[in-house]
Amino acid sequence: MRARDPEKRRRDFKEVALGLTQAQALKEAKRCLQCKKPRCVAGCPVEIDIPRFIAAIREDDFKGGLEVIRKCNMLPAVCGRVCPQENQCQGRCILGKKSKPVAIGALERFAADYEVTSKAPDAPVSIEPNGIKIAVIGAGPAGLTAAADLAKLSYDITIFEALHEPGGVLTYGIPEFRLPKKIIHREIERIKKLGVKILLNWVVGRTQTLDELFEEGFKAVFIGVGAGAPKYMKIPGENLNNVYFASEFLTRVNLMKADQFPVYDTPVKRANKVAVVGGGNVAMDAARTAMRLGAEKVYIVYRRTEEEMPCRLEEVEHAKEEAIELMVLANPKEIISDERGYVKAIKCDRMVLCEPDESGRRKPECSGEEFVLEVDQVIMAIGQTSNPILVRSVNGLNTWGAGYIVTDNEGRTSIPGIFAGGDISTGAATVISAMGAGKRAARAIDSYIKELSLAKK
Ligand code: FAD
Ligand code: SF4
């Protein structure tokens, strides 16, 4: 896919990847073999009929292709940009066995973006509401998908969202240069057209409890509150001035527009030399954001090697093109302070890789050597964990690990009528896996309501 020149893009927040041209999309779509038993579909957590949407594109019916996608996925322009297709649909494409798989993600993005440029009018929505109220907690990909699918089944859906904007990580975590906000807004507006209501600034567990929602007449609840709380390394110096946790750093810039301070009220500390600790998508996003805020030097400090990095290949390639330096086999052990309590440097152990651990990746161990890297800002991006506000407010809800909700594959929790899915039940995962969970839970909620209605007759 075409991308903007790294020299120019690393200092602004405009989108980096430019998408396929119409000619490229047609050529790519024609590579698809239209398999009778398409392996790609089995790799898609929301079960898009991939050969059908590609067939429509080859016939120049871009809008038709998008309609096929939208039957299963109401966030195609988002997924076409951020899904790790290489591990999912594309990873299973039969063509990948001998050469390059079909670029399914890029085609999905093309179909979604084409609709905007073509300005084709929307087909009118005609849903006969059944008046049964279902509450969805959290407007991230899991909640939005559950809400859209339930609305299509005629339910009266209200989403309760803690922040002042919907979208979850799509809005507050993933930066504008990867996923422009207008794209998220457009897809959410379409979900609202299905009749879904979104109440913002509404922290369920504080503003209102689940019990109160049931008392107000909601017949079932889907919890999709994600895993947005930061994880700590618990090393000395983690509380110094100018140490950020990636979720806070990214939220300041993405949601609160701190890059435009003082036009917007929220500031963010700009630094010259920044160390970002971690090797996932969050670390890449934080590093590339720090570069765009004007840092002269940005390091990614990661304890394994580039090969083991959990981020998408495209993200690390883009980061390197933008002059971000990978400092691999390095594990921070202390953040060093200057005399005023601000970050001055980060001390790291040099690591070596040993036998694979339970994650299947080779385990890093200290080599016995250490080194000091002079930096004036550290951003910790070693993962996120569950936020306890809602979970702790519900009696009898079974949890595992750090407060994640136990569910079956369809999102049923230990309490009848309460369903959950996405990062709050799996731990930090992906946009599409959260959407898949929302979809399965919507089906289970529909069955639950039907059983409830039958029992009452
Ligand atoms: P979330 O997206 O976290 O949404 C949960 C929502 O619930 C939030 O809006 C939150 O404000 C709200 N909420 C929380 N508590 C309450 C409450 N008590 N009451 C009301 N509302 C509440 N995945 C990919 O596939 N590709 C990527 O490129 C990618 N990049 C990422 C980059 C970053 C910086 C981060 C942090 C994650 C990234 N991920 C990526 C992971 C992906 O975004 C998540 O797995 C996904 O968003 C999980 O969706 P969710 O709906 O479960 O939760
Ligand atoms: Fe087309 Fe690949 Fe899917 Fe076969 S597996 S239908 S070639 S995208």
Instruction: Using alpha carbons, list the distances in angstroms from residue 53 to 111, 122, 165, 384, 439.
Output: 9, 18, 31, 35, 20
Domains of the chain listed by start with CATH number:
2-117 (1.10.1060.10), 133-228+386-456 (3.50.50.60), 230-383 (3.50.50.60)
Whether the CB of 82 sits within 6 Å of ligand 1: yes
- The count of other CB atoms within 10 Å of the CB of residue 247 is 22
Q: How far is the CA of 423 from the centre of ligand 1 (A)?
A: 7
Q: How far is the CA of 154 from the centre of ligand 1 (A)?
A: 26
Q: How far is the CA of 383 from the centre of ligand 1 (A)?
A: 12
Whether the CB of 224 sits within 6 Å of ligand 1: yes
Instruction: For residue 389, give the ligand nearest its CA.
Output: 1
Q: How far is the CA of 7 from the centre of ligand 1 (A)?
A: 30
Whether the CB of 405 sits within 6 Å of ligand 1: no
Whether the CB of 205 sits within 6 Å of ligand 1: yes
The pLDDT of residue 118: 78
Whether the CB of 68 sits within 6 Å of ligand 1: no
- How many angstroms separate the CA atoms of 391 and 81, rounded? 31
Whether the CB of 280 sits within 6 Å of ligand 1: no
Instruction: For residue 98, give the ligand nearest its CA.
Output: 2
Whether the CB of 390 sits within 6 Å of ligand 1: yes
- How many angstroms separate the CA atoms of 153 and 292, rounded? 44
The pLDDT of residue 119: 72
The pLDDT of residue 456: 72
Q: How far is the CA of 379 from the centre of ligand 1 (A)?
A: 19
- DSSP character string of 269-286: ---SEEEEE--SHHHHHH
Tokens of residue 346, six digits: 């980060």
Instruction: For residue 49, give the ligand nearest its CA.
Output: 2
- How many angstroms separate the CA atoms of 449 and 190, rounded? 25
Q: How far is the CA of 37 from the centre of ligand 2 (A)?
A: 9
Q: How far is the CA of 93 from the centre of ligand 2 (A)?
A: 5
Whether the CB of 196 sits within 6 Å of ligand 1: no
Q: pTM score, two decimals?
A: 0.94
SS3 31: helix
Which residue has its alpha carbon closest to ligand 2 atom 2?
A: 93
Q: Among 161, 184, 225, 252, which residue has the most ligand 1 atoms within 8 Å of its CB, making it the best to mutate?
A: 225
Q: How far is the CA of 107 from the centre of ligand 1 (A)?
A: 24
The pLDDT of residue 10: 94
* H/E element, 433: helix 431-456
Evaluate whether 104 touches 93 at the Cβ level (below 8 Å): yes
Whether the CB of 35 sits within 6 Å of ligand 1: no
172-185 CB burial, b ≥16 within 10 A, e <16: bbbbbbbbbbebbe
Instruction: For residue 92, give the ligand nearest its CA.
Output: 2
Evaluate whether 254 touches 352 at the Cβ level (below 8 Å): no
pLDDT means over runs of 10, the chain (457 residues): 91 94 96 95 93 96 94 94 92 94 96 85 80 97 97 97 97 96 94 96 95 96 95 94 96 95 94 97 97 97 93 92 96 97 97 87 91 97 92 93 95 97 95 96 97 79
Ligand 1 atom closest to the Cα of residue 141 is 51
Residues flanking ligand 2, CB < 6 Å: 32-35, 38-40, 50-51, 93-95, 102, 104
Angle at 282 between CA 258 and CA 304, to 5 degrees: 140
- How many angstroms separate the CA atoms of 77 and 316, rounded? 22
- Residue appearing with tokens 């983690």: 238
Ligand 2 atom closest to the Cα of residue 96 is 2
- How many angstroms separate the CA atoms of 110 and 106, rounded? 6
Ligand 2 atom closest to the Cα of residue 31 is 7
